């Protein structure tokens, strides 16, 4: 396989990019398109910090070849700035001081969004499960779990 020109919709806009077979979706999003919210923590599929939505499902963009996004719809945190649910989640993160260094925050918020889209009032156990693959080196997770839980409107 050689270079190929692929199209994908990113945060609502059709994009074209020339990719090599080994190019990672993470690098295309950050370097070609300038969306810096997906972070590289490990680069090996272990930390979850590079998570984005592909056709509405979370994927690890560091282990997703860019060509797999061909004709797909990709959403990063930047694409959810005006989304009411994401605004709730972000406000709840602020209220709970759930972002310390902030490096994991975009991925945590994406995972919270994915959960709350599917279930508006999850239990704390379900919140913990939803973020179990997303690593945070700062918070001890409690504030993040509380932030997502409260954003869901649970009692």
Q: Are 38 and 50 in contact (CB under 8 A)?
A: yes
What are the DSSP calls for 24-49, one per residue?
BHHHIIIIIS----S--SSSSSSS-T
29 binds ligand FES (CB under 6 A): no
- What is the size of the binding site for ligand FES (CB under 6 A)? 22
Q: Are 99 and 105 in contact (CB under 8 A)?
A: yes
**Interface region with ligand FES, contact rule CB under 6 A, candidates 7-15, 42-50, 65-73, 113-121:** 42-50
154 binds ligand FES (CB under 6 A): no
Structure-token match 């279930």, residue found: 119
CB-nearer residue toward ligand FES: 3 or 44: 44
Interacting residue ranges for ligand FES, rule: CB under 6 A: 40-43, 45-50, 60, 62, 99-104, 136-139
């Amino acid at each position: 396989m050689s270079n190929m020109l692929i199209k994908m919709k990113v945060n609502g806009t059709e994009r074209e990019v020339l990719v090599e077979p080994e190019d990672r979706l993470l690098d295309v999003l950050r370097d070609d398109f300038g969306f810096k919210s997906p972070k590289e923590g490990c680069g090996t599929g272990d930390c979850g910090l590079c998570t984005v939505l592909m056709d509405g499902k979370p994927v690890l963009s560091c282990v997703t070849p860019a060509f797999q996004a061909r004709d797909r719809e990709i959403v990063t945190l930047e694409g959810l700035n005006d989304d009411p649910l994401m605004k709730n989640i972000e406000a709840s993160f602020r209220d709970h001081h759930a972002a310390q260094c902030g490096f994991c925050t975009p991925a945590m918020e994406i995972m919270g969004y994915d959960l709350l889209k599917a279930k508006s009032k999850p239990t704390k156990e379900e919140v913990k499960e939803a973020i179990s693959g997303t690593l945070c080196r700062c918070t001890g997770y409690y504030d993040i779990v509380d932030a997502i839980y409260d954003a869901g409107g649970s009692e």
